[in-house]
A and B are shown apart, each in its own frame.
Chain A
Amino acid sequence: MALRLLFAVILVAAAGSARAADPSEALPEESKPCLACHSAEGAPKVDAAAFASSVHLALGCTGCHAGVDLAKHPAAKPERVNCAGCHADATKHYEASIHAAQRAKGNETAPACATCHTPHEVSAAAVGEGLKDACLGCHAAAADTHKKWLPNAAKHLEVVACAACHAPAVQRKVDLRLYDGGGQKRVSEDLVPGFAERVRALDKQGQGLDPAQLRNLLDHLAQEGKVAQPLLIGRIEIRNGAESHHLAGKATALRDCQRCHSAGAEPFQSVTVSVQGADGKTLRFEAQKEVLSSPISVDSVRAFYAIGGTRISLLDVLLALALLAGVSAPLVHLALRKLLRKKQG
């Protein structure tokens, strides 16, 4: 992936002087004249390859940058991009956020849409680590400040979306992402053609994959051999994406561990299994919440566990039995000793 990107970047750079060899055949025709200038020095540069893999590719340049009159451009700037035109809900929540408040106060460094959602390589929030990096890009000390109070802070930052704690109104869920090679690389749809059909065939009732079905699915992938060592890595994500823009101040951030680390915690009530779609979006498939607590899925979801929240119920039963045995065996033995001694005495 990184190699391909690098390759594309080199190509774009080369194309700068040659004005030829467009790296992305996928670009719509109407975008090509724009990129002819916007990939060269002198004009705001657009990474053609990144744009080609963005979810906004289909919109083309003019989908967002409306009203460019080529006769007057570049002297006349295009209008400001109106994200709210499509993303009204997210924008509404953004407007209520600490970021928007700071911006309204005149804080130029406070982020607007494109600050976090990098222009021209917009991808769905849940796809990669990009958004977390965007947060840490400004909040550089966050990794350390979390360490001060949060046990296993690095792990938390890795598997919990920032908004899960910093946007109090969100609803959380678990996404079990399918990885290749023991967690090296996310599995994309084209690597496993027919994945969706297989999931649907397993989950006949449409109630989501149950623990046994999930295990079947992974066994099948392993047998098929296209995915070496398939592995599900869980992440706490946001179910209602728009609300995640309502980022609040530090003081209102979630600090109550038990919101996740206790039985029946809200994030573990909704579970999906996902692969990366060909169009840059994430393909999700419902799973039953029992996949997080069933002894059957100890192996299937071996790379995801939240203490207290996703505990294996069978172990609770064993613990109760051990407690019962540990207390009653000595008591019964003691009682027998006293009784039988008396009889003899």
Chain B
Amino acid sequence: MEKLYVHPLPVRIWHWINAAGFIVLILTGIQLRYADLFHVLPFPVTVRAHNWVGFTLIVNYFLWLLFYLFTDKIKVYHPELDPAKHFRNTLRQLQYYGYGIFKGDPNPHHVSLYHKFNPLQSVAYQVIMILLVPIQFYTGLLLWDLERFGGSVALFGGVRVVDTVHVSLFVFFIAFIFVHPYLASLGHTWSAHFKAMLTGYEEVD
């Protein structure tokens, strides 16, 4: 087995802080929205926890962003500009997850230095990391202090619109938080990708 260093240290630090933060944000977010159903912490405490974890993740996001902006690893987040190739590879990957994997076929994607993501992951993470996560942070920031960001809130379309966007993305991330670890368990052993995210080395055959 060849070992490839695909998850550099800053990315690993970012990933695990982000993972822990996301879980706290989801749990506190559920309590804030459904205080009538789940009531663990006092409401203002929950708000504060949600805010501070949010700020931590915003700072943490910049760790991720700066790392990618200023290293050639940015290529990992570059789009596939050839649509034919994109769709061919996407279908191949989907065919693997939806059919081939049941037969024990090998994963059609081979991890390499500048292509650590398969075509599905590639598009998913580009959209998530460069669009959805920043929108979630931005709307969260606006909701944190509606008075201070009153102008931006109005520009965004009003507090209800800001909240609707924030909650819609929250809905998406809820599904993500379950599917992500499952997909991560589909390496050559169930723990391979988890180990890789700890050590940085992905085992490649």
Give A contacts to B, CB under 8 Å. Answer: 149-152, 154-155, 158, 182-183, 231, 256-258, 261-264, 298-299, 301-305, 307-308, 311-312, 315, 318-319, 322-323, 325-327, 329-330, 333-334, 336-337, 340-341, 344
Number of A-B contacts (CB under 8 A): 111
Q: Which residues of B are found within 8 Å of A152, using beta-carbon distances?
A: 144-147
| Beta-carbon contact of A330 and B179 below 8 Å | yes
Measured CA separation A299–B158 after assembly (Å): 8
Contact of B47 among A151, A154, A322 (CB under 8 A): A151
Q: How large is the interface on B (under 10, 10 to 19, 20 to 34, 35 or more residues)?
A: 35 or more
Shortest beta-carbon distance from A317 to chain B in Å: 10
B158 to A, closest residue via Cβ:
A302
**Across the interface, do A334 and B158 meet the contact criterion of CB distance under 8 Å?**
no
Q: A298-B164, A336-B102 are in contact. List 7 more A-B contacts (CB 8 A).
A: A151-B47, A152-B147, A158-B147, A257-B44, A308-B35, A318-B168, A326-B176
The majority secondary structure among interface residues of chain B is helix
Q: Is B62 an interface residue (CB 8 A)?
A: no
A322 to B35, CA, bound (A): 19
Specify which chain B residues have a CB less than 8 angstroms from the CB of A151 in the assembled complex.
Answer: 44, 47-48, 51
Q: Tell me which residues across on chain A come within 8 A of B160, comparing CB atoms.
A: 298, 301-305
Assuming A326-B177, A340-B102, is B33 touching A311 (CB within 8 A)?
yes
Query: Which residue from A149, A262, A299, A302 sits with its C-beta under 8 Å from B159?
Result: A302
Which residue of the partner chain A has the closest CB to B156? A302
Would you list the 7 A-B pairs with minimal beta carbon distance, nearest first?
A302-B158, A330-B182, A326-B178, A257-B43, A154-B147, A326-B175, A262-B36
In the complex formed, the residue of B with least CB distance to A255 is B44
List the B side residues contacting A305 at CB < 8 Å: 158-160, 163
Contact of B33 among A256, A264, A307, A334 (CB under 8 A): A307
**Which among A258, A264, A319 is the interface contact of B171 at CB below 8 angstroms?**
A319
- B residues in contact with A308, CB < 8 Å: 32-36
Task: Please measure, in the bound complex, the distance between the C-alpha atom of A263 and the C-alpha atom of B177, giving whole angstroms.
Answer: 26
Cβ-defined contact, B178 with A315, below 8 A: no
CA distance A334 to B97 in the complex (A): 11
| Interface positions of B from 60 to 114, Cβ below 8 Å from A | 97, 101-104
CA distance A163 to B46 in the complex (A): 25
Q: Smallest CB–CB gap between B175 and chain A, Å?
A: 4
Q: How far is the CA of A334 from the CA of B179 in the complex (A)?
A: 11
Residue B167 is within 8 A (CB to CB) of chain A in the complex: yes
Q: How many whole Å from B104's CB to the nearest CB in chain A?
A: 7
